[in-house]
Chain A
Amino acid sequence: MSLFQIIFMIGQILILTLILIHNAPIMAWVERRGAALMQNRLGPNRIGPLGLFQSAADGIKFIFKEDQIPGHVSKFYYVLAPLVSLVPSFLTFAVIPYGSQIDLGGGQILKFQIADLNVGILFTLAIASLGVYGIIMSGWASNSKYAMMGSLRSSSQMISYELSMGLSLVGILMVFSSVKLGDIAAAQGQTLLQLGPIALPKWGIFIQPLGFLIFMTSVFAETNRLPFDLPEGESEIVAGYHLEYGSMKFAILQMAEYNNMLTGSGLLATLYFGGWQMLFPLGQIYSHLALSGMTADWVRVAFEIGSFTVKVLFFMWFFVWVRWTLPRFRYDQLMDLGWKVMLPLSLVNLFITAVMISYGVI
């Protein structure tokens, strides 16, 4: 690995970390304004243009608030829990490709992905499961009945939905015969169907529609968002596992949640919506530009990063959209859905995919 590649890698890590840190405040703003839009309200509009600095003000408030540790908590785990939630939420984004690669010549390839691990998606699943430890820890260490109930709900919910999530993913892994996210994204550039002038790309959603639905629902459950936000079910168990948390520790738990949303959106985009494959007008514009050499590569990557961002933003918006539309499930209904509907459906999906692959349909 040359020096340039190492610098490039460190640059990527820094930029993505910064993006992930700023994800929570920006999403908080999007959520508030989005909710206001849907509810015929104004939302925050006092600080900065369109209330954009409201989140910054909130961040400052979180930092300057007294960092109180209640007397009845188990101190070590209480302090550790937010970190245990936060770190996996940062790590998972490392394997998601947000652009293709540039060949600099001489065997030097720049990959727009922090780590193209050969275990790829498995790494994401493994690290994402670690996040539940933070929630269990915070619930247990808080020494409060409501917090305990929240963390119990959360752990059982995550375990149940991780199963169908993993199984629904197997379908897509079978189709693309790879667990490397870079390969999966690249493979989705092929054409699935040519309908006159319109070329239907070989995106995951077109070959795995059922798998997509199951995966998306599981992502909602994994990130504890409505309609699956039982761990924090505000009206029932007050605030669930972050009931006893205040100031920055509370903010960190929130940050972990928003980062998980971002990772979930990134995975949805990469696995089912072509990842960095260019969106409709961009591809055409790029071929019309008829660039060559280094410029062509950099413009192509810029277009790809733009497309990926748009896809991710759509899913982030979708999370907000659903949250302000649907009511919440009840705990036993959630479990029923997970074990009696999602799991059999993902098995059916797996079966159908296997049959179709063996007959060479896809």
Chain B
Amino acid sequence: MENVEKNYPSGISIERPAPGFRDSHDPDDLWDDSRVYINIGPTHPAMHGALRMAAKLNGETIEGSYCEFGYTHRAKEKLGENRTYHNFIVYTDRLNYCSALMNNVGYALAVEKLMGIDVPERCVWLRMICCELARVTDHLICVGINAVDLGAFSFFLYGFHQREEAYTLIEKLCGARLTTSYSRIGGMMQDAPDGFEKELKAWVNRTRKVIDEMDELLTTNKIWRNRTVGVSTFDKNMCLQYSFTGPNARAAGLDIDLRRDQPYLFYKNVEFDVPVARNGDVYDRYLVRIAEIRQSLNILAQCADKMKKGPIWSEDKRVRIPDKDVVYNTMEGMIYHFKFFMEGFAVPAGEAYTAIEATNGEMGFYIVSKGTPNSHRMRIRGPSVWHYQGLTPMVKGEKIADLVAALGSINIIAGELDR
């Protein structure tokens, strides 16, 4: 951001000029280039999470801005080096807290890759359900909050109702709603309850109807289109420059999706489309997210059909958490349980980068192991970091109301951004 104070001739008292007062480019004009500098955030209703943006305004137009983050920095990556691999699972919940289930899966996949563990089929299906359920809830929040910022409150609550129902489903899986910690390295915390598939499919059918309703309410609304079409455009080239991934990149026409390009889990075995838009404006991001919710619902229905009964734990002795009856009834089990939770398990030396297609884009875990129960280095690629860098060029020359729309549409999650 430019220096606010200029070198005025000494002895002249300088008062803050009125916004947009004059723009004469006259060196003798004290009030030339008079602009108002405004702090948006960190406690601003539109700055979801704690983000700060300092903007230079000419009237209502943003002439320059400066993004700042780090208000929710909790040293997640450093914690990953101090905690055992098992302990770190709970910290992954707090990355993108709108899709905690998916972060758990991504982390488990990363450690399993280092250890060379294969998990049973049912576990993989469960993980896919986790991922897609998380994607639906996250996208519902994103489009909903974007609409709230533009004044359409009811739209948000329709989606939020379905999200609450999804959280009830998640609660049935793991007992928690927001911070799930459901995946374990080499398995899942517990199996899905009986009849879960049926309930999931019922929810999918209900949500499809709600999505149709939401679509009808907003997609063709004239005011909504005025507010979003052509606003905060970030084209393909800029997306490449700023390493955009996920729905934000797909909205600009970058046809990338790790689920299809680098299939992990069982994404090869299900049918889904990757929605791609062209213009990369707020409207296209909204459309892509709505389309992705529909695709994810399809995937969920397919997973519910294909999932069969079976074990959910890998039989690898290193990572298998002993069952409670073994722990309470046998001496060996007790000792093993104690050692597992007090010391953790050693991961073979090596390094691995595992990326999954998270709700906002590529979420990667880069783990360097030296053969100890703690990782030597833990790095996380949160897609929001890259998207947040793009906000400044995105909103340059636009109105302050567009900033709010842009920020909502790229879905910055402070937990993932600051880590």
Residues of A near any B CB (own CB < 8 A): 35, 38-41, 145-146, 149, 226-227, 229, 233-238, 324-333
Taking a contact as CB atoms closer than 8 A, the residue among A146, A236, A325 that contacts B401 in the complex is A236
Instruction: Name B117-162 residues within 8 Å CB distance of A.
Output: 147-154, 157-158, 161
Given the complex, which residues of A lie within 8 Å of B224, measured CB to CB?
327
CB–CB B221/A39 < 8 A? no
In the bound complex, what is the Cα–Cα distance between A149 and B402 (angstroms)? 15
CB–CB A327/B154 < 8 A? no
CB-based nearest A residue for B39: A145
Taking a contact as CB atoms closer than 8 A, the residue among B154, B161, B226 that contacts A330 in the complex is B226
Q: How many A-B residue pairs have CB under 8 A?
A: 77
Q: Closest 9 interchain pairs by CB?
A: A328-B151, A327-B152, A39-B157, A235-B149, A235-B46, A327-B151, A327-B150, A330-B401, A236-B401
Given the complex, which residues of A lie within 8 Å of B152, measured CB to CB?
325-328
CB–CB A39/B60 < 8 A? no
CB-based nearest A residue for B402: A330
* Chain B contact residues: helix, strand, loop or mixed: helix
Taking a contact as CB atoms closer than 8 A, the residue among B44, B150, B403 that contacts A238 in the complex is B44
In the bound complex, what is the Cα–Cα distance between A145 and B150 (angstroms)? 21
A-B contacts, 24 listed (Cβ < 8 Å)? A35-B153, A39-B154, A40-B158, A40-B161, A145-B38, A226-B151, A229-B151, A233-B401, A234-B45, A235-B45, A235-B150, A236-B46, A236-B400, A238-B44, A238-B45, A324-B154, A326-B151, A327-B223, A328-B152, A328-B401, A329-B223, A329-B227, A330-B402, A331-B60
Whether B218 sits at the interface, judged by CB under 8 Å, is: yes
Given contacts A38-B154, A236-B404, A238-B45, contact A330 B399 (CB under 8 A): yes
Instruction: Name B34-64 residues within 8 Å CB distance of A.
Output: 36, 38, 44-46, 60
The listed residue with most A CB atoms (<10 A of its CB), out of B45, B60, B151, B161, is B151
In the bound complex, what is the Cα–Cα distance between A39 and B148 (angstroms)? 13
CB–CB A235/B148 < 8 A? yes
Given the complex, which residues of B lie within 8 Å of A327, measured CB to CB?
147, 150-152, 218, 221, 223-224, 227
Given the complex, which residues of A lie within 8 Å of B401, measured CB to CB?
233, 236, 328, 330-331
Contacts beyond the supplied A324-B154, A328-B227, A332-B399: 17 A-B pairs with Cβ under 8 Å: A40-B158, A40-B161, A227-B223, A229-B151, A233-B401, A235-B148, A235-B151, A236-B401, A325-B152, A325-B154, A326-B221, A328-B151, A328-B401, A329-B226, A329-B227, A330-B399, A331-B401
In the bound complex, what is the Cα–Cα distance between A146 and B404 (angstroms)? 14
In the bound complex, what is the Cα–Cα distance between A227 and B44 (angstroms)? 21
In the bound complex, what is the Cα–Cα distance between A325 and B218 (angstroms)? 9
CB-based nearest B residue for A227: B223
Q: How far is the CB of A81 from chain B (nearest CB, A)?
A: 20
CB-based nearest A residue for B46: A235
Given the complex, which residues of B lie within 8 Å of A233, measured CB to CB?
151, 401
CB–CB A39/B223 < 8 A? no
Taking a contact as CB atoms closer than 8 A, the residue among B158, B223, B402, B403 that contacts A326 in the complex is B223
In the bound complex, what is the Cα–Cα distance between A308 and B404 (angstroms)? 42
In the bound complex, what is the Cα–Cα distance between A325 and B151 (angstroms)? 9
In the bound complex, what is the Cα–Cα distance between A149 and B18 (angstroms)? 11
Given the complex, which residues of B lie within 8 Å of A41, measured CB to CB?
157
Interface size for B (C-beta < 8 A) is: 30
Given the complex, which residues of A lie within 8 Å of B157, measured CB to CB?
39-41
In the bound complex, what is the Cα–Cα distance between A346 and B36 (angstroms)? 36
CB-based nearest B residue for A40: B161
Instruction: Name B384-419 residues within 8 Å CB distance of A.
Output: 399-404
Given the complex, which residues of B lie within 8 Å of A324, measured CB to CB?
153-154
Given the complex, which residues of A lie within 8 Å of B400, measured CB to CB?
149, 236-237
In the bound complex, what is the Cα–Cα distance between A235 and B217 (angstroms)? 21
In the bound complex, what is the Cα–Cα distance between A344 and B157 (angstroms)? 38
The listed residue with most A CB atoms (<10 A of its CB), out of B149, B152, B227, B401, is B401
CB-based nearest B residue for A336: B226
Given the complex, which residues of A lie within 8 Å of B402, measured CB to CB?
330
Given the complex, which residues of B lie within 8 Å of A333, measured CB to CB?
226-227
CB-based nearest A residue for B403: A236
Q: How far is the CB of A220 from chain B (nearest CB, A)?
A: 12
CB–CB A145/B154 < 8 A? no
In the bound complex, what is the Cα–Cα distance between A328 and B221 (angstroms)? 11
Q: How far is the CB of A332 from chain B (nearest CB, A)?
A: 6
Given the complex, which residues of B lie within 8 Å of A235, measured CB to CB?
45-46, 148-151, 404
CB-based nearest A residue for B407: A235
Given the complex, which residues of B lie within 8 Å of A329, measured CB to CB?
223, 226-227
Given the complex, which residues of B lie within 8 Å of A227, measured CB to CB?
151, 223
CB–CB A145/B36 < 8 A? yes
Q: How far is the CB of A235 from chain B (nearest CB, A)?
A: 4
CB–CB A328/B399 < 8 A? no
In the bound complex, what is the Cα–Cα distance between A136 and B414 (angstroms)? 36
Q: How far is the CB of A279 from chain B (nearest CB, A)?
A: 30
CB-based nearest B residue for A153: B60
Given the complex, which residues of A lie within 8 Å of B158, measured CB to CB?
39-40
Given contacts A233-B401, A330-B399, A332-B399, contact A39 B226 (CB under 8 A): no
The listed residue with most B CB atoms (<10 A of its CB), out of A145, A229, A236, A328, is A236
Q: How far is the CB of B157 from chain A (nearest CB, A)?
A: 4
CB-based nearest A residue for B408: A235
In the bound complex, what is the Cα–Cα distance between A333 and B60 (angstroms)? 13
Q: How far is the CB of A122 from chain B (nearest CB, A)?
A: 32
Given the complex, which residues of A lie within 8 Å of B44, measured CB to CB?
238
CB-based nearest A residue for B151: A328
Q: How far is the CB of A216 from chain B (nearest CB, A)?
A: 16
CB-based nearest A residue for B47: A235
Q: How far is the CB of B321 from chain A (nearest CB, A)?
A: 41
Q: How far is the CB of A326 from chain B (nearest CB, A)?
A: 6
In the bound complex, what is the Cα–Cα distance between A324 and B403 (angstroms)? 23
Given the complex, which residues of B lie within 8 Å of A234, measured CB to CB?
45
In the bound complex, what is the Cα–Cα distance between A39 and B149 (angstroms)? 17
Q: How far is the CB of A66 from chain B (nearest CB, A)?
A: 21
In the bound complex, what is the Cα–Cα distance between A35 and B221 (angstroms)? 19
Given the complex, which residues of A lie within 8 Å of B153, measured CB to CB?
35, 39, 324
Given the complex, which residues of A lie within 8 Å of B403, measured CB to CB?
236
The listed residue with most A CB atoms (<10 A of its CB), out of B46, B154, B161, B217, is B154
